[in-house]
Amino acid sequence: MQNYKELLVVLGCLCVSALLLTAMSPRDQALALTCQNHLRSLRDAAALYEKEHDGNIVPVKTTLNKKYQTWAGILLPYVSDVSIYYCPADLPHGSKALERVDLIPTVYRGDTISYGMNYFLGDVQKSRKPRNYNINLVDTPEKIIFFGDSQTPFLRPTQACWQLDFAPFHAKTSSCFVFVDGHTGILSGATLGIIGRPDGFENWQIDDSSWHNWKKE
């Protein structure tokens, strides 16, 4: 029964994504599909990290040894092609990295990446003993966002931070996301369940089901 419910959730996300995708121009559709492929690759890299760390999710950021590093830098050893850090529709980030707007960057710079990580999903590591953010404790992996288009390295669904992070790179209305279970989707501000109105933040509403749901240990 649980697998059936998970399938319904994924199918619902795919239906919403398909509607948003068909409303885009052919060029925007191609960019969105490439973006989703990049996000799947980032999820694969995170899965390799989890395999080597007993299921522990990559930290959102760390300040160990007085060295600041985000999840993106931590995952570098697990990434074979750094272009997956960049959304092809995110021209401002691309132009910073390569001083070109017609190519996806091939050089990693942490301050220019196009994607953010769900801030509620991983540890903010300040000591060598991480908090127990284990992938096996995520109760509804088909619902929880892992990575997505962002103007910062993070996705923080709070009223102040979301205005900084939310990045509708695609057709100026929608963002691409990859979920913990590995499927991808395209969501707008209205369909994401984060903001009450697609054109503003006056009626702020948080749908926690997209951001954290931990099993009881």
pTM as predicted: 0.82
Confidence band for 166, pLDDT divided at 50, 70 and 90: confident
* Res 131: pLDDT: 67
Residue 1 has pLDDT above 50, yes or no: no
Hey, where are the domains in the chain? Answer: 2-210
Range name among 37-46, 168-177, 205-214 with the lowest pLDDT average: 205-214
Burial class from Cβ neighbours inside 10 Å (0-12, 13-18, 19+) for residue 53 reads middle
